[in-house]
Amino acid sequence: MCPGTGSQMENHTHSLPSLSPIHSPNNPSKALSPSLPQPSATAPASLSLSSPSLPLFSPFHSLQTSGGLNSHCLSPSTPSDQDDLTCLNWLQQKNILPLSKMLSFSQFDAPPISSLPSSLTKPPYSFSSLIFMAIEDSPDKKLPVRGIYEWIVSNFPYYKTAPSGWRNSVRHNLSLSKSFRRIQRDKSQSIGKGSLWCVCTEYRPALLEVLKKIHYCHSNNSSLLNNPVLLEAADHGQNAMCDSLAISDLDSNNPTLSSSSPCSLIPEHEELVAIQSVDLTEETESEKDPLADSGYIEFHYYQCEQYQYLVLPGNSDLDLETVEILQLDAEAQEAAGSLLDLAGGNH
């Protein structure tokens, strides 16, 4: 199934592959070059991240992952990271991600209601992506074929009425794709037919990248990564609204962003973000509480006039790419309708 993994039940303690899938030529994050274009007037003018009606696919509505975040996104920077054009360590160094200027999630993620596909419209996701989301949404990160069917049907009503050939396609994908790995069930506890299927750890970034591409293709807004305001901030290493703002600033009684913008910062949300990479070993994850010892970090985001800010703890290793992947992860979770469930630790 998975090249280099030997038998199916071997532990997967290997390191993740390089970031190359994430940095495909099609990836707009290429735009985050040190030699960035100058800002233009094309930056989004209105933002609604913290609006009461967060969109269905707003990841920060309940941003949380099920513990399978890529470790490559979370590892401390390496020299190669620094050389990477997509490296945005300046953001984490500041501990502030000016959301409204870089991540207009609500309009970035959610297509207009009128353009949302109906339940009878075939989802834009490939079968690999559907399988990936299904498995990722399962508590143990492994599902039988039937469980994958059920997840797809329950989350994409199109398949309730679609000709049954799609099930064949699911099985075909599972067998053919290197991204998925078959796990023999414990014979003594085997209930039902067949094996369990999980996602090969080394292919997870690529699967996320596929989701990312779908995400971009089906967003009618330009990529956040091309946002000239963000690019300017990255280029100059400062932002008029967020420069020098740190957690301590928020904890103090002086939440002023700057002398020129004496507005108060109102905490809008508090979220939990899972940042720990979880090995897909069979024994450990099945009994793991997704919230216990999970490496979750807490972040806050704030709204100040038309600007919104994501404030990360000082030692967090999130970069923009990580935030994006978190976003995609969250989308997958929301597609599963289980984000709140997971966030509540109901497993």
Residues that bind DNA (CB under 7 A): 122, 125-128, 144-146, 149, 163, 165-166, 168-169, 171-176, 182, 187, 190, 192-195, 197, 210
- Minimum CB separation from DNA for residue 194, in Å? 2
CB of 47 to DNA, least distance (A): 29
CA distances from 58 to 2, 153, 297, 319, 334 (A): 33, 22, 19, 19, 9
Minimum gap (Å) between residue 216 Cβ and DNA? 11
CA 181 to chain centre: 22
Minimum gap (Å) between residue 219 Cβ and DNA: 15
Structure tokens at 345: 């630790």
Q: How far is the CB of 169 from DNA (least distance, A)?
A: 4
CA 201 to chain centre: 15
Question: Minimal distance in Å, beta carbon 161 to DNA?
Answer: 13
- Three-state SS for 328? helix
Residue 69: is it exposed, middle or buried by C-beta count within 10 angstroms (0-12/13-18/19+)? buried
Q: Which is nearer to DNA, 132 or 302 (CB)?
A: 132
By C-beta, is 173 or 308 nearer to DNA?
A: 173
Instruction: Give the integer Cα–Cα distance in Å for 103 and 320.
Output: 9
Question: In the structure, how many helices (H) and strands (E) does the chain have?
Answer: 15, 7
> ∠ CA 226-228-230 to the nearest 5 degrees?
85
- Quickly tell me which residue has 């497993």 as its tokens: 347
Tokens of 96: 């502030």
Q: Which of 73, 19, 17 is nearest to 322 (CA)?
A: 73
Answer for the pair 224, 230: CB distance below 8 angstroms, yes or no. yes
Considering beta carbons, is residue 104 or 138 the nearer one to DNA? Answer: 138
Tokens 């004496």 -> residue: 262
Whether 108 contacts 320, CB under 8 Å: no
**Minimum distance from CB of 2 to DNA (Å)?**
12
Tell me whether residue 223 or residue 258 sits nearer to DNA (CB atom). Answer: 223
**Of residues 92 and 177, the one with the C-beta less far from DNA:** 177
Nearer to DNA, 167 or 269 (CB): 167
Q: What are the backbone dihedrals phi and psi of residue 201, each rounded to the nearest 5 degrees, phi first?
A: -55, -40
- In the complex with DNA, the residue whose CB is nearer, 94 or 215, is 215
- Tell the smallest beta-carbon distance from residue 217 to DNA (Å): 9
H-helix or E-strand containing 205? helix 204-217
Distance of CA 197 to the CA centre of its chain: 21
Considering beta carbons, is residue 79 or 193 the nearer one to DNA? 193
Integer Cα distance of 135 and 140 in angstroms = 8
Closest CB 8 distance from DNA, rounded Å:
9
Please, which residue, 128 or 277, has the CB nearer to DNA? 128
